[in-house]
Amino acid sequence: MKSYLNKAGVLFTAAGLAVTAGLSHGSSHREAPFITEIPKADGTDFYMFRSYESGRDGFVTLIANYLPLQDAYGGPNYFDLDTDAIYEIHIDNDGDAQEEITYRFQFTDVFNDLQLAVGESGSEELVSVPLKNIGDASVDGNVQVRQQYSVSVIYGNRRGAPQVATNISTGTEAFRKPLDNIGAKSFPDYASYADQHIHDIAIPGCSVPGRVFVGQRKEAFAVNLGEIFDLVNTNPLGPRNGEGAGDLADKNVTSFALEVSTDCLTGSAATASGQSVIGAWTTASLRQARVINPAPNANDKGATIEGGAFAQVSRLGMPLVNEVVIGLKDKDAFNASNPGDDGQFLTYVTHPTLPELLEILFSGAGAEAPNTFPRNDLVTAFLTGVPDLNQPQGVTASEMLRLNPEIPATPAGTQSDLGVLGGDNAGFPNGRRPIDDVVDIALRVVMGALTTDAPNKDVPFTDGVQLDPTELRSSFPYLSTPIPGSPNDQPI
């Protein structure tokens, strides 16, 4: 255990840089200048862990969150996804910094023009209504627009042809996405309604069926944004839950949850002891051309016309990277890049700027950051995985979330939210679970918690926000029912 902790500490340090003066909102929310303009393509958090739902220990769960900072009351359109985008989860299972498997999600709208008869009897006119639904929103006939999606798998570094997955229940290639949680009057039982959108999925090339869910969930990332961005205007030595519920406690997010048999993910990448390792990251891509329609109407393609090849605009692997590890001038470039090209960002890792800033900001607490340059130890852990934990032999240095799925899952009730730092090898940085408090882990380690000689190595730094584990599900898709837009419990 001790060897894991000492080596993992460097990776925690890299993540910890992000909590000091980030330009984003949360783990990777609005972190680059261009992504602020296209929130539907904004990847916010990525989780990858061995499934800990009872009876599912042969599976890995991948959760990619998009479209951040959703206020539950954000109607009448709420938070549909971009039908002109592709959303992808990439798997590197041989350690070469290239994807061997890509899961692609694409969305379509299903329209139902709801009209009401308005006017005097005998001369009524049918008029389209302005709201998304006009009754119980779990009934299709009461809903104006909903979304469905397809899932494709691509083998071989995007060179292969996409193979479309099948919805086992319907035998079709379409999967339904639940509407966002409009409120208690539109959804008498939203939790049950959403669970009906957990689908069994037959993935080409994988003989074991998996599960998929795409829909709104309650945000699980615990952080006080205002205080952090105000030069860490909080008590770094206070209790872990001393700053309230956190600024994201009243926000929702859209989750892409995919559970896949471990055998369908692993490849030749393995640790020195022979245990399998998979690396993963998420992206979103948009068409290169967008023409704004000056006169949109219901009979054409709407407000814009999209065309051209797809261009990647969002990338996310490890939490808290693009915000402040990558310099401002290169943030958009990082979002457009692939792990195999990460050599261009190496200086940001070997000579990180933000540990010095953290030392200044915490000077009142006597903080003194370790200073060792170049940070070759950070490169080893941050870009290659942790030796004897989740580092493949012969790995190509590149930034992504890495998981050793042969390490047994820790049951939900006994997980440590400090992950490996808390003695729980099934947690961050061996993948990432919803419970893992990457902010507190980062703060402690960036100040030297896993070194032998740092002045503050034993100080339990914290941002004062800690997720209540009871807010999470212990079953797929693990993140909780989203906050309703209207909490009033009224009959239809």
Q: What is the mean pLDDT of residues 104-129?
A: 94
Residue 315 lies in a domain: yes
| Residue 325, pLDDT above cutoff 80 | no
What local confidence, expressed as pLDDT, does residue 26 receive? 45
Q: What angle do CA 477, 240, 371 make, to 5 degrees?
A: 100
Q: What is the mean pLDDT of residues 119-137?
A: 93
Q: What is the DSSP string of 109-174?
A: EEE---EEEESSTTS-EEEE-SSSBSS-TTSGGGBSEEEEEEEEEEETTTTSPPEE-EETTTSSS-
- 395 versus 227: the higher-pLDDT residue is 395
Distance (Å, whole) CA 134 – CA 144:
8
Residue whose entry in the numeric block shows the structure tokens 């490849």 = 267
Categorize the per-residue pLDDT at 8 as very low, low, confident or very high, splitting at 50, 70 and 90. Answer: very low
Contact assessment for residue 407 and residue 427, using Cβ atoms and an 8 Å cutoff: no
Q: What is the DSSP string of 325-381?
A: TS-GGGHHHHHT--GGGGGGGHHHHHS-SHHHHHHHHTGGGT------SS-HHHHHH
What local confidence, expressed as pLDDT, does residue 27 receive? 60
| Residue 152, pLDDT above cutoff 50 | yes
Contact assessment for residue 20 and residue 354, using Cβ atoms and an 8 Å cutoff: yes
- 41 versus 463: the higher-pLDDT residue is 41
What local confidence, expressed as pLDDT, does residue 279 receive? 97
Residue 6 lies in a domain: no
| Burial of 406 (C-beta count, 10 Å sphere; 0-12/13-18/19+) | middle
Distance (Å, whole) CA 311 – CA 287:
6
Residue 161 lies in a domain: yes
| Residue 447, pLDDT above cutoff 50 | yes
What local confidence, expressed as pLDDT, does residue 375 receive? 67
Residue 3 lies in a domain: no
Q: What is the mean pLDDT of residues 358-384?
A: 72
Distance (Å, whole) CA 96 – CA 113:
50
Residue whose entry in the numeric block shows the structure tokens 């915490």 = 362
Other residues' Cβ atoms within 10 Å of the Cβ of residue 75 = 18
What local confidence, expressed as pLDDT, does residue 12 receive? 34
| Residue 195, pLDDT above cutoff 70 | yes
Categorize the per-residue pLDDT at 438 as very low, low, confident or very high, splitting at 50, 70 and 90. Answer: confident
Q: What is the mean pLDDT of residues 419-434?
A: 94
| Residue 470, pLDDT above cutoff 80 | yes
Q: What angle do CA 197, 80, 174 make, to 5 degrees?
A: 40
Contact assessment for residue 409 and residue 48, using Cβ atoms and an 8 Å cutoff: no
Categorize the per-residue pLDDT at 381 as very low, low, confident or very high, splitting at 50, 70 and 90. Answer: low
Categorize the per-residue pLDDT at 492 as very low, low, confident or very high, splitting at 50, 70 and 90. Answer: very low
Categorize the per-residue pLDDT at 15 as very low, low, confident or very high, splitting at 50, 70 and 90. Answer: very low
Report the percentage of the chain scoring pLDDT > 90.
62
- 246 versus 309: the higher-pLDDT residue is 309
Full domain range(s) for residue 431: 35-115+125-471
Residue 60 lies in a domain: yes
What local confidence, expressed as pLDDT, does residue 235 receive? 81
pLDDT tens track for 46-70? 999 999 999 999 999 999 999 999 9
| Residue 11, pLDDT above cutoff 60 | no
Average pLDDT over the chain, rounded to an integer: 87
Q: What is the mean pLDDT of residues 304-319?
A: 92
Looking at the structure of the chain, the number of domains it has is 1
What local confidence, expressed as pLDDT, does residue 378 receive? 67
Contact assessment for residue 279 and residue 267, using Cβ atoms and an 8 Å cutoff: no
Residue 28 lies in a domain: no
| Ramachandran class of 320: left when φ > 0, alpha when ψ lies in -120 to 50, beta otherwise | left
Residue 7 lies in a domain: no
| Residue 13, pLDDT above cutoff 50 | no
- 106 versus 464: the higher-pLDDT residue is 106
Q: Which of 148, 81, 166, 149 is nearest to 110 (CA)?
A: 148
| Residue 25, pLDDT above cutoff 50 | no
- 112 versus 32: the higher-pLDDT residue is 112
What local confidence, expressed as pLDDT, does residue 95 receive? 96
| Residue 86, pLDDT above cutoff 50 | yes
List the single range of 92-96, 181-185, 331-335, 377-381 with lowest mean pLDDT: 377-381
What local confidence, expressed as pLDDT, does residue 260 receive? 98
Other residues' Cβ atoms within 10 Å of the Cβ of residue 106 = 18
Q: What is the mean pLDDT of residues 332-360?
A: 84
